[in-house]
Amino acid sequence: MNATSEYLKKSEDILSCVAKQTEQIKQGASWCSESIKVGRVVHLFGSGHSRIMVEEMWPRYGSFPGFNPIVEMSLTFHNQVVGANGQRQAMFLENTSGLAAQIMRNFAIDEQDCAIIISSSGCSVVAVEMAFYFQQHSVKVIGIITKAHSQASESRHPAGKKLQDYSDLVLDTGAPAGDAMISIPGLDTPVSPGSTLGGVLLVNCLKAEIAKKLTDAGQPPTVLTAPALAGSKKSSHLFQKAYDHHGSLMSKILDHS
């Protein structure tokens, strides 16, 4: 089997793993939709490459307001790799205890909110403490991890905790321990990770289920829709309406009065 065929085959295994979690996905979507229906938000957080799932959820085509994407550039800006704003600093900061609490001081959290926290290893200290913060504020937490990878990984949290320890619901990306899925003859370690694929599948399943629940409840979301589907005029209208809605939600989240 060539490398491409092998990766695609392992991707089918990831798809199968996600499909087996349908009921859990529906449960998470129910919590999220309840938050959105009452005018609150679903907080999204991921450091490192887990940021990808945050931005996949909102804002992009096929998504809608109701989410607070928390993306810290110091934890996710990988482009320069070395030097100022380099990868070493980001990896250090994501395992710095106390940073999550400083991030969350910016937001007025309500027990009607919900949270989705993503960490493939489940061991990022910031992600673990973010989940703990939400649970301390009576907010339900959906943790997205890679179970096999998390089980093989050692937590750097001061108390040895992992994301799943502070999650009310845990979803598994289905990737293997170490994440990389393809072994190349003559190469000591594998390449081509799979957790992002599983994570993107999970958040888009959640998004679809949330949209259905909101629509069934008579509160259909305003979806960011491409001009290719809606025409330029309607597409622009939907974008502006969605952004205005997001702004009104954020005004409440940022209001500490």
The domain defined by 3-253 carries CATH number 3.40.50.10490: yes
For residue 73, give the H/E element and its range: helix 73-76
Choice between 63 and 256, residue whose per-residue pLDDT is larger: 63
How far apart CA 236 and CA 71 sit, in angstroms, is: 25
Residue-wise pLDDT for 53-79, tens only, equals 999 999 999 999 999 999 999 898 878
Contact 143, 170 (CB under 8 A): yes
Q: Which residues of 191-220 are buried (b: 16+ CB within 10 A; e: fewer)?
A: ebbbbbbbbbbbbbbbbebbbebbeeeeee
Q: Given pLDDT bands bounded at 50, 70 and 90, which one contains residue 9?
A: very high
- What is the pTM (predicted TM-score) of this model? 0.96
Among 119, 71, 117, which Cα is nearest to 95's?
119
| Span 18-37, average pLDDT | 98
Residue-wise pLDDT for 154-173, tens only, equals 988 889 899 999 999 999 99
As given in the structure block, the two tokens for residue 146 are: 């890679």
Residue-wise pLDDT for 72-106, tens only, equals 998 988 788 899 888 899 889 998 999 999 999 99
As given in the structure block, the two tokens for residue 243 are: 């952004």
Q: Classify residue 157 as exposed, middle or buried by CB count within 10 Å of its CB (0-12, 13-18, 19+).
A: buried
Residue-wise pLDDT for 120-146, tens only, equals 999 999 999 999 999 999 999 999 999
Q: Do you find a cis peptide bond into 221, omega within 30 degrees of 0?
A: no
